[in-house]
Amino acid sequence: MRNKHRMCILMFSFSVLFPVCVDADDRKIEKAVKKYTTSTIELRHQIHQYPELGNREFKTAELVANHLKSLGIEVQTGVAHTGVIGILKGDKPGPVVAVRADMDALPVTEDTDLPFKSTVRTTYLGNDVGVMHACGHDIHTSVQLGVASVLSSIRKEIHGTVKFIFQPAEEGPPPGEEGGADLMVRENTMENPRPVAVFGLHALASMEAGNIGYTSGPAFAAVDHFIAKVKGKQAHGARPEESIDPVVMASEVVTAFQTIRSRSLNPREPSVVTVGIIRGGQRFNIIPSEVHLEGTVRTYSEEARDGVENRMNQILKGITSAYGGSYELDYDRGTPATINDPKLTAQVVPSLQRAIGRENVMEVPPTMGGEDFSFFANVVPGFYYRLGMVKPGTVSGGHHTPTFRADDSCIPIGMKAMSTLIIDFMKSGGLQ
């Protein structure tokens, strides 16, 4: 039976027909997505071809600001170095919501056959490196620019205000600098006006375009960084009895660190302890005085974080004391865990399902990867989901690899899904 306020139509997406019931706003969003898809894909190609590292996103920020200004959106630049904020005020009263995209690339040399592949090179930590959008931030930024185009074209239907946050340095600022979401929050990005919720998405290299994945509750792990110095006494390699061997001590430390996860933490709680660097010695026949250990810890709770740091100190103290050595431990608590607000998640998932089809929206398990979207979601309730990006029948390299490859076909899906979510949420008056 036909209803004057809602009707069913057939929509075509990625060669798959599926029925979707749409209202007037849905039809306006669909029309706007079709109108702006080509120009948004062109923006994606430009961003991908000319990537920039964290805190150096000068051209990308200029592109973003110019696009927002062309839409009549109020723009603020220079936030947390190169961040851009756009404020879109709807014609109807309602809540303030924020939506965030990250703009920075990685020191990775691209190995794809894309016609718009990056050939950019720069100096990073004193080395000449290639630069590539090897984690999908070009997708994130272009989709959000597309959402800005869509929503600005229907601002008469917007109940409230949308704050577009374009963030630099999600992968971390250069050594010795501050940056990323942490600095944006400290510079009051989430104030004036303060949103009632914040949304974002991340491309997923293991998911086909046309699909969306979400997690209620813990979604991305906290990212901690540790550096340990195991100190001994240097001696000739032929006279080990005159040494206090830090290589032997460090070897035992690395092995013992693996028992933190298996014997000290709750086995039902996800966690990772990884030693990624062991460095010591200058010559094959010299026992060095010190060995450097460096790695990462991934957890989902402050209790687990405390447990890992405490056990590291106990292990380092016990092993080095037994051999007559000593140690130093620098344990840096970095990005906190990203926890999707369960109530907010339950409220907005139906919007994603209506936008692209219920069968294309699926729950996915938490990842031990990190995301500094958490800094925004620690200020107000947040929802951060995964956007499928791989052309069906093909594969992409993993995140942070030279063969990472996102397909353009995910862009209109991302535009439609996020635009629908925002419009629905604002029309409802905010978090219910």
Long-range contacts of 313-319 (CB under 8 A, 24+ apart): 315/253, 315/256, 315/257, 315/260, 316/228, 316/230, 316/253, 319/249, 319/252, 319/253, 319/256
Q: Is 26 helix (H, G, I), strand (E, B) or coil?
A: helix
Q: Which helix H or strand E contains 202, and what residues bound it? A: strand 197-208
Name 37's Cβ contacts closer than 8 Å, sequence gap at least 6: 146, 411, 412, 415
Active-site annotation holds for 371: no
Select from 396, 340, 65 the least CA-distant residue to 213. Answer: 340
CA 165-91-426 angle, to 5 degrees, is 55
Annotated catalytic residue, options 30, 52, 102, 104: 104
Annotated catalytic residue, options 52, 102, 110, 170: 170
Active-site annotation holds for 309: no
Alpha helix positions (H), 94-191? 137-153, 180-186
Q: Which residues pair with 44 in a beta bridge?
A: none
Q: Which residues pair with 163 in a beta bridge?
A: 87, 98
Long-range contacts of 251-259 (CB under 8 A, 24+ apart): 252/319, 253/228, 253/293, 253/315, 253/316, 253/319, 254/278, 254/293, 256/315, 256/319, 257/295, 257/312, 257/315
Using CB atoms within 10 Å of the CB of residue 9, give its burial: 0 to 12 exposed, 13 to 18 middle, 19+ buried: exposed
Whole-Å CA distances, 359 to 77, 138, 303, 345, 352: 40, 27, 37, 17, 11
Q: Is 173 helix (H, G, I), strand (E, B) or coil?
A: coil
Q: Which residues are catalytic?
A: 104, 170
